[in-house]
Amino acid sequence: MATVTIKAEEAKQLVIQKLQEAGLNDQHAMKIADVLVHADLRNVNSHGVLRTEHYINRLKAGGIKPDANITFQSTGPVTGIVDGDDGFGHVVADIAMDHAIEMAKSSGVGMVTAMNSSHCGALSYFVQKAAEEKLIGIAMTHTDKIVVPFGGKTQFLGTNPIAYGVPAKTKQPFILDMATSNVALGKILQAREEGKEIPEGWAVDENGAPVTDPNKVASLTPFGGPKGYGLAVIVDIFSGLLAGAAFGPHIGKMYDDLDKKRKLGHYFCAINPAFFTDPDVFLEQMDRMMEELQQVPPAPGFDRVYVPGEIEQLHEARNLEQGITIASSVYEFLTKKVQ
């Protein structure tokens, strides 16, 4: 597959311009571009700027409001609800996490659900935001059905990702961002774009048989069998039912019915360690824990032990200098002039 390497700032500006051309305001376009490039910098390209074309197609079809009036309602000392008014999920999620952070700073914990939203991009962006404020961040979101439940043949659940961000004193934050399926759907889409096979175990065909051809994928599988299945249901409860949104097979599809509002839900939580323990000791212990994990002797076939999120952070440091690599087709779309 042909690729192009460009600086992160150039990628942001190209995405912003495309979104503005499609009718989105500057502030929302900048936030979406920031979240997408964040993913590309971490080499999570499945959630990066390649999504821009889809977002614009849904925006133009009427499935996302360009002028959404996103509001926050406080429901208690440490709780609240964001109504996304069918706007862009990246902006909705960012506002929700900001409110969770604000409450955690003053009251120890902040929990916010979001409703009437759409796809919000990589959750690592939002939990990292909390970690940078020396808070623990948690984020969950449901997606439309693509995953078979453990023991089942047909789809019921989404990839339903969950993410955690934990601050440290001198080290970069601990960031865990994972789908509850064996792989995120974006990885399948990326493999199709790149013309590559996928590992066996990621997905099954319409008969429930394992496949390696991304074009034959009918459903994904939960990671760890019943364990991933159970977590996927939990994510649907927190980001779906708790947010007053749909669940499983009742969630609007991402790549179909582009003219329909998806009404997605999200869940965000921020926790202030200072309300539970000595915050300096906590941060120092996080440093120590990560250092000791990294010092564990590697197993055969491995160079070393990495802390969750560390590989992506190393990618980000390198890509900030060298640029992000995207498919040429994506670059052509981003640079194509409006006729």
162-181 burial, b at 16+ Cβ within 10 Å, e below that, comes to bbbbbbbeebbbbbbbbbbb
Instruction: Please tell me the predicted confidence (pLDDT) of residue 207.
Output: 87
Instruction: Provide the token pair at 189.
Output: 């889409």
Residue 104: pLDDT over 90:
yes
Mean pLDDT of the 76-80 span: 97
Residues with Cβ within 8 Å of residue 130, at least 6 apart in sequence:
97, 100, 101, 104, 136, 137, 165, 270
Mean pLDDT of the 300-328 span: 97
Active site residue 47: no
- Alpha carbon distance 117, 329 (integer Å): 28
Residue 46: burial class (beta carbons within 10 Å; 0-12, 13-18, 19+): buried
CB distance 6 to 326 below 8 Å: yes
SS3 sequence of the chain? CCEEEECHHHHHHHHHHHHHHCCCCHHHHHHHHHHHHHHHHCCCHHHCHHHHHHHHHHHHHCCCCCCCCCEEEEEECCEEEEECCCCCHHHHHHHHHHHHHHHHHHHCEEEEEEEEECCCCCCHHHHHHHHCCCCEEEEEECCCCCECCCCCCCCCECCCCEEEEECCCCCCCEEEEECCECCCHHHHHHHHHHCCCCCCCCEECCCCCECCCHHHCCEECECCCHHHHHHHHHHHHHHHHCCCCCCHHHCCCCCCCCCCCCCEEEEEEEECHHHCCCHHHHHHHHHHHHHHHHCCCCCCCCCCCCCCCHHHHHHHHHHHHHCEEEEHHHHHHHHCCCC
Instruction: Please tell me the predicted confidence (pLDDT) of residue 153.
Output: 86
Instruction: Please tell me the predicted confidence (pLDDT) of residue 190.
Output: 80
Per residue in 170-217, pLDDT (tens digit) is 999 999 999 999 987 778 888 888 889 999 889 999 888 889 999 999
**What is the pLDDT confidence band of residue 289, given thresholds at 50, 70 and 90?**
very high
User: Backbone phi, then psi, for 152, in 5-degree steps?
Assistant: -105, 165
Rg of the chain's alpha carbons, rounded to an integer? 20
**What is the pLDDT confidence band of residue 338, given thresholds at 50, 70 and 90?**
low
Q: Within 10 A of 187 (CB to CB), how many other CB atoms are there?
A: 23
Residue 105: pLDDT over 90:
yes
Mean pLDDT of the 15-28 span: 96
The one catalytic residue among 28, 90, 99, 119: 119
CA nearest 85: which of 56, 65, 99?
Answer: 65
Residue 339: pLDDT over 60:
no
